[in-house]
Amino acid sequence: MEIGLKLDEIERAYMAMTPRSKELFEESMKITPAGVHHASMIKPWPIERGVVPPFIHEAKGQYMWDADGNKYCDYFNHGVLFLGHAHPAVVKAIQEQAARGGAMMGDHTDLQIRHVKKIISMVPCAEEVRFCNSGTEATMYAIRIARAYTKREKVGKFAGDFHGANDQLYVAVGAPYDKPQSGGIPSDCYKNTIVLTENDVEGLEKAVKQHDFAAIICEFIHGSGEAGMQMDLDFLKALREITEENGVVLIADEVISGFRMAPGGAQEYLGVTPDLTAMGKMIGGGIGGSGGFCGKSEVMEIVNTKVPGRERWEAAITCGTFSGNAISMAAGYAALDTIDEAKGELNRYANRLGDRAREELNEFFEAQKIKAQAIGTGSLVNVQFTEKPIQYVQDLAATDKKAQYRYHLWMATQGIFTLPGCNFYISAVHTEEDIDFLTEKTKEYLKKA
Ligand code: PMP
134 alpha carbon – ligand 1 mean position (Å): 7
Pocket test for ligand 1, best of 158, 163, 422 (most atoms within 8 A of CB): 163
Closest ligand 1 atom to residue 254 Cα is 3
pLDDT 10s digits, 369-387:
999 999 999 999 999 999 8
Cβ atoms within 10 Å, residue 270: 20
335 alpha carbon – ligand 1 mean position (Å): 18
Closest ligand 1 atom to residue 137 Cα is 16
pLDDT at position 449: 65
Q: State the Cα torsion 430-432-436-442 to the nearest 10°.
A: 40
For residue 279, pLDDT over 90 is answered with yes
Residues 156 and 73: their CA atoms lie apart, in Å, by 38
Question: What is the pLDDT of the chain when averaged over all its residues?
Answer: 95
36 alpha carbon – ligand 1 mean position (Å): 17
Closest ligand 1 atom to residue 219 Cα is 3
Residues 360 and 446: their CA atoms lie apart, in Å, by 14
pLDDT at position 4: 53
Closest ligand 1 atom to residue 139 Cα is 10
280 alpha carbon – ligand 1 mean position (Å): 7
Of residues 449 and 184, the one with the higher pLDDT is 184
Pocket test for ligand 1, best of 224, 229, 257, 328 (most atoms within 8 A of CB): 224
pLDDT 10s digits, 206-244:
999 999 999 999 999 999 877 999 999 999 999 999 999
**What is the average per-residue pLDDT within 419-443?**
97
At position 402, the amino acid (one-letter code) is: K
Cβ atoms within 10 Å, residue 59: 17
pLDDT at position 1: 42
Q: What is the percent of the chain where pLDDT is above 70?
A: 99
164 alpha carbon – ligand 1 mean position (Å): 5
428 pLDDT tier (thresholds 50, 70, 90): very high
For residue 121, pLDDT over 90 is answered with yes
Closest ligand 1 atom to residue 257 Cα is 3
Which protein residue's CA is at the shortest distance from atom 5 of ligand 1? 224
163 alpha carbon – ligand 1 mean position (Å): 6
Which protein residue's CA is at the shortest distance from atom 12 of ligand 1? 135
175 pLDDT tier (thresholds 50, 70, 90): confident
299 alpha carbon – ligand 1 mean position (Å): 22
pLDDT 10s digits, 2-46:
555 789 999 999 999 999 999 999 999 999 999 999 998 899 999
Going from the N-terminus, what domains does the chain have, and what CATH number goes with each? 7-74+345-447 (3.90.1150.10), 88-341 (3.40.640.10)
Which protein residue's CA is at the shortest distance from atom 2 of ligand 1? 163
For residue 59, pLDDT over 90 is answered with yes
- Ligand 1 contacts (CB < 6 A) are 78, 134-136, 139, 162-164, 219, 223-224, 253, 255-256, 280
pLDDT 10s digits, 305-341:
999 999 989 999 999 999 999 999 999 999 999 999 9
Residues 144 and 308: their CA atoms lie apart, in Å, by 21
138 alpha carbon – ligand 1 mean position (Å): 9
pLDDT 10s digits, 281-295:
999 999 888 899 999
